[in-house]
Structure 1
């Protein structure tokens, strides 16, 4: 079943067109990667899906509902949760308070404990630091906190925007292992990532975005084997 569909989506910043007639889909249960160079329009696409950036043209459908004009907070209620580029944790709040903020839109706030347990199971380091201020965590720990906070909304679709940016190699491996585990537990994932090797090796399907347009699509395995992708994104001539 198709969970998310973008049909002819265009996004402008003033007169500058950041995304042009973009069409893609994410099926329930998939990990779908969107790869591309800096400035290709990846983060703009994520902001359009989450409702932060309005469309100039096109339509976005989620679980069969047209959400093109739906407010961002109502998209969270529908089941779309984003982990933003740069993490965006609340630095003065504790880990526990940050996680609680992730559940702000839920109607069943009395039933948060199983989801909190799930987050601490996925990220044991957060359990150890539950009373520590978010701003005092390392970059990798803050990424874990941002992901855990997003999961507290019980999303059907998790949007991950550059989760490996600025992280040490050991944290990158750990983050991507957890992405796979989150997906195995039933959450659909749309992943924007410059680390094409990691993204494509974890993705069921992937799209290549160049200057606001989709130029290639295929399974993660197919794109990993594509000579043009190897040269452009994997550093293999």
Structure 2
């Protein structure tokens, strides 16, 4: 397994945000975490990125224990995140934001290839390359956040709520691009409230409720599960 999460427990002060969370991400797959607001999805992603301290459990990446590694060391190993809320640098241009995604790298020729890859995935960004990121639409900013994460050339990219706040047409476009990213060889761990779209693309999926994984299976299995349909899919996919 490329990424393994074992018995993960994380607190916010005295409040237990996630407890005994265990799952794995096989190389080349799309794994999704679904659940209601406050279920612990974003906390899980921040912990994997190194932004939250672990109270118990461990995180393994390609056989290496990274539980207490700082975020930038995780990026060097091949783990990068497009965060909830996008987190772009509004006062920087699109190009400068993308360069920030590659800040741990020094392989200029390969960085240029990855820049070309991002431009091919997101032609809109090429049109906006010199524009300040803060002046772009929400959809364009989401494209930029994902592109910035890809500039680190991750082996696993963590995508936290990539469709949040987007129009339906853009949501479909973002999910199509996520599929393409995976088909190009990048493993994807996806947190998403749009459960129907996420489950359609997931090889494996997990349902988080109040900080615990309560159900796991293939994306198709969970999409067909009556309790999942009722809770997250409006009774239908």
TM-score range, shorter chain: over 0.9
Q: Distance in 2 between matches of 1:87 and 1:189?
A: 17
Deviations 1:65-88 (A, max 9, x none): 000111111000000000000001
1:17 matched residue in structure 2: 16
- The gaps in structure 2 that reach 5 residues or longer are none
* Equivalent position of 1:97 in the other structure: 96
Tell me what 1:183 maps to: 182
Number of positions where the alignment pairs a residue of Structure 1 with one of Structure 2? 236
Query: Contact (CA 8 Å) 1:103, 1:109: kept in 2 or not?
Result: no
CA distance in 1, matches of 2:99, 2:139: 20
Give the Cα–Cα distance (whole angstroms) in 2 for the partners of residues 110 and 232 of structure 1.
Answer: 48
Q: CA deviation at 1:108?
A: 1.3
Question: TM-score when scaled to structure 1?
Answer: 0.98
* 2:87 equivalent in structure 1: 88
Aligned to 2:74, the other structure's residue is in SS state: helix
* Partner in structure 2 of residue 67 of structure 1: 66
For residues 108 and 88 of structure 2, the distance between their equivalents in structure 1, rounded to whole angstroms, comes to 21
Q: In structure 2, what is the equivalent of residue 26 of structure 1?
A: 25
Alpha-carbon distance between aligned partners in 2 of 1:13 and 1:153, rounded to the nearest angstrom? 29
- Which deviations, in whole Å up to 9, do the C-alpha atoms of 1:16-55 show, x marking residues without a partner? 0000010000000000000000000000000110000010
Structure 1 position 112, deviation (Å): 1.6
- 2:147 and 2:216 mapped to 1: Cα distance? 29
How far apart, CA to CA, are the structure 2 residues paired with 1:94 and 1:33?
31
Q: Distance in 1 between matches of 2:109 and 2:27?
A: 27
Residue 96 of structure 1 aligns to a residue whose secondary structure is helix
Correspondence for 1:192: 191
Q: CA RMSD in A?
A: 0.8
Q: Aligned equivalents of 1:197 and 1:127: distance in 2?
A: 30
In the alignment, what sits opposite 1:78?
77
1:147 Cα deviation after fit: 0.3
Q: In structure 2, the residue corresponding to 1:6 is in which secondary structure?
A: strand
* Partner secondary structure for residue 20 of structure 1: strand
Distance across 2 between alignment mates of 1:108 and 1:132: 26
State the match for 2:114 in structure 1.
115
Matched, 1:160 2:181: no
Match of 1:203 in 2: 202
Output the TM-score relative to the length of structure 2.
0.98
**Is the partner of 2:2 in helix, strand or coil?**
strand
SS of aligned partner of 2:214: strand
Moved over 2 A (4+): none
Encode CA deviations 1:59-110: one digit per residue, 9 max, x unaligned. 1000000001111110000000000000011111111111011000113135
Summarize deviations over 1:100-149 as a string: whole Å, max 9, x none: 11000113135321111000000000001101110011000000000000
